[in-house]
Structures are given as C-alpha cells and as structure tokens.
Amino acid sequence: PAAEAARRGHAAEAAPAADDALPFDPDESAGKVTRATSIVCTIGPASEAKPRLREVLEAGMNIMRLNLSHGDHEEQGARIRNLREIMAERRAERISGVAFGQDIAAIAMDLKGPEIRTGTIGGSDYEKAAVAAGQPFRLYTDEAMRARGSAEGVFVDHAPLAAAVGPGDAIFIDDAELELEVVSAAAAAGVIECVAKNAASLGGKKGVNVPGVALAELPVVLPKDERDLRWAVEQRLDMVFASFVRSADDVREIRRVLADAGEHGESMLVISKMENEQCVGNLDEILAESDGLMVARGDLAIEVPYQTVPMLQELMVERAREFGKPAIVATQMLDSMQKAPRPTRAEANDVYCAVQQGATGVMTSGETANGRYAQKTVRTMEELCHAGEERLARRDTHFERTLESIGEMYGFFDDEEEGE
C-alpha cells in the first residue's frame, strides 16, 4: 500500500501509475489517497479557523504541524480541537456519501528545543518591525526586555550570548532574513551593540544563529520543552518534531520525557530535525534512534556552508531510505506563496526534486501558517508531488525494461534461465 511504502521511504514503489490522468478518481471510494508523499502543513493564524483549516485538510494535508515556539497551549489546543471536530464531520459526511478527498491528518508538535530565539515585537507574537540597512540595532539578554522588542532592538533568550560574541561577529535572525554585525558587547549589562547589514521586516520569536562562535551548549529538553512534551502526551498527539538534535542521546532524552509523561508518550513518534553541524557527523546514530528525520534547511543553511545544503539534503534522504525511515524536506519550499497565488519556477522544482530524491514528506511553514493562499499552497504542493511520483514510476519502469533488454542482448540471464 502507498502508506506503507511511504513509511519505508520508498516513494517510487508507491507512486501512482504513469498513465493516471488524475491525482485521484472521484468515482473511487471517497478519501482514497494515491499520493505517497505526505504533506506537512504548519497551522497558524491564517489557517486555524475551522473553515480555512477544513480547506487545507481537504486540499491534501496529511500532518498538521504545531510550532510550539509560537503561541501557548490554549492557542494550540484550539487548533487541535478544530481539526478533530473537522475530521469527525468529514467521517459523518463520508458515511452519507457526500464527501471525497482528504479527511484525516496526524498531529505533530514542533519543539522549540535547544535554540536561541528573540522575544516579541511590542508584546505580540505576530507584530513586525521594519529594520533599515545600516542602522544601529541592539540585542538584549535582560528578561525585562522580552516583550519590548522594536525596530531598535530585541531580546534574545540566551544570557551567555553577550559574553560569547565580539566585534565583527555575524549574528543571523529568522533564517538569515536579518544579518547583524557585532560592534561591541557588554556582558555585565547584557547588551550587544550591532549594525544591521540589510533591511528586513522582523517578527517575534525568531531563531537566532551565531555560526563560528562557541556557545554554551543547551540541554536538548529545556523546562519549556518538558512542559510542552507533557502537554503533547495529554493531548494524545501523534508525533514530535525534535529541534536541533545533535546526537542519539538527545533523542533518548526526549523519549524518556515522553514515557514519563504517560503511557501514550511511549507510542509517539520522534522525528529528528537535522539543522546543525553536529547532526551531520552523527547522522547514522540519530537515524538509528529516531522514527524519521526532517531536513530543516533554514537553520542548517546558516550552521553549515549554504552551498553544501543541497548535497546534505540528498545524503540525509538517501540515508533515511537505507534505514527504512521517513524523511521530510522542509523550509521555504513554496515560500513566495505567502503573498503570491503561484510558486516560482525554482520552488516548483524544489518540491519536485525532493520527491525525486525519495523524500517521504514535504512541509509548508509560513505559506500555510501566515500566508494569503494556504489552500492553494497545499493543492500546488500536491500537484507537484504527484508529478514527481509519476516521473519516478515511469523512470523506474524504463530502467527495469532497459536493464532487461541489455541483459538479454548480452546473455546476462542465460545461466539463470538454464537453471530454471
């Protein structure tokens, strides 16, 4: 079955037949999904209301991602309730014979993990500030500044940062949307004076990367993460996306917290996010301990030379397939669709190539969490996944027939035939 093949990481085995004209047949039993590649959708303010969330589900969402770096348990809990109510309604419609398309999705929680993030802008997770190129910009480690971010500066939640950086060091915020150069740092005051290297629209609770600077290592499960993991078990979620995993020990620690939180925690899947230099060297041990991996290209492209990310993506997906475990490719796959109704050609190629490489899942982030075209984004991603899978099916059939013909031409199979 397609789902089983996808779990094994063999999208080609589960791809639709090359002659299929449609991604699904409306006349078949409603809800049958022929697509092998899962679509993971981050749900946020733009898609959390029931009508919008229903559209995203019906368009092809297989896994709902809740980013616990944003929002609180009440806000995320409302999204869970909405999805479960929609799925119950869809089941009733299915029984009545009036529904077709996607009607069930798993729920994943994305941990904040051992990463550095900014505080909020004006006390809101969703307010933004315009930063101009060349302007002075401050980073504060004082907790009193956590909710007081502005265009002049923001809080960062790693107190030792001011002692670790020095003049000339680069600090990247929000997947390098904003690059800062350190001018000076006062550890005692908890203030880092910087200059903005580019203009950016900066939101709240964004990731902070300081490549090439030795920072005090954070535990994989911080107090907030432990609370979030226990909450996930209470909510009976299906899986955890573990951020900034560095080793197999990190995965084991997350499993320990899940198991301690309740019986359901023992059955939850742990998908390790590959987004730092340490994970590259420990890839095999992480895969052995995890239920799958995510190629989280946003932070990865800052923590390692960006030109190596395409190669690392291919390597990680291939290794996951060899381990028989799923691999999700994430970050900016259809990013322009936050504001535009169609993807760029490069984005379309990105999704297609991920499927061609054997990824068992692709993910949306801001496209569905905050974008104007959430439903259309998912439909576009589904079309691209189908195109990639169809090509895989045709290519594999072509190679099988070619090898068979060459074998017969040169007598490779003669001994085998004689022995039958």
Q: How do residues 22-78 score in pLDDT, each as one tens digit?
A: 333 433 333 444 789 999 999 999 999 999 999 999 999 999 999 999 889 999 999
CATH 3.20.20.60-classified regions of the chain: 2-114+219-398
Cβ-contact 363, 65 below 8 angstroms? yes
Q: Is 43 helix (H, G, I), strand (E, B) or coil?
A: coil
Query: Beta-carbon neighbour count of residue 229 at 10 Å?
Result: 26
CATH of 2-114+219-398, one of 3.40.190.150, 3.50.50.60, 3.20.20.60, 2.60.40.420: 3.20.20.60
CATH 2.40.33.10-classified regions of the chain: 116-209
Considering the entire predicted model, what is its pTM?
A: 0.81
Q: pLDDT, tens digit, for every residue of 273-291?
A: 999 999 999 999 999 999 9
Distance CA 157, CA 141 (A): 6
Mean pLDDT for the stretch of residues 198-223 = 89
Q: pLDDT, tens digit, for every residue of 231-256?
A: 999 999 999 999 999 999 999 999 99
Lowest-confidence region among 85-99, 100-114, 149-163: 85-99
**Would strands 191-196 and 136-140 be described as parallel, antiparallel, or unpaired?**
antiparallel
Kindly state the tokens that stand for 406: 């060459």
Radius of gyration of the CA atoms of the chain, in A: 23
CATH topology of domain 116-209: M1 Pyruvate Kinase; Domain 3 (2.40.33)
Return the H-helix or E-strand segment holding 230: helix 223-234
Lowest-confidence region among 226-235, 260-269, 401-410: 401-410
Q: Which residues are catalytic?
A: 65, 117, 273, 331
When pLDDT is cut at 50, 70 and 90, the band that residue 126 belongs to is: confident
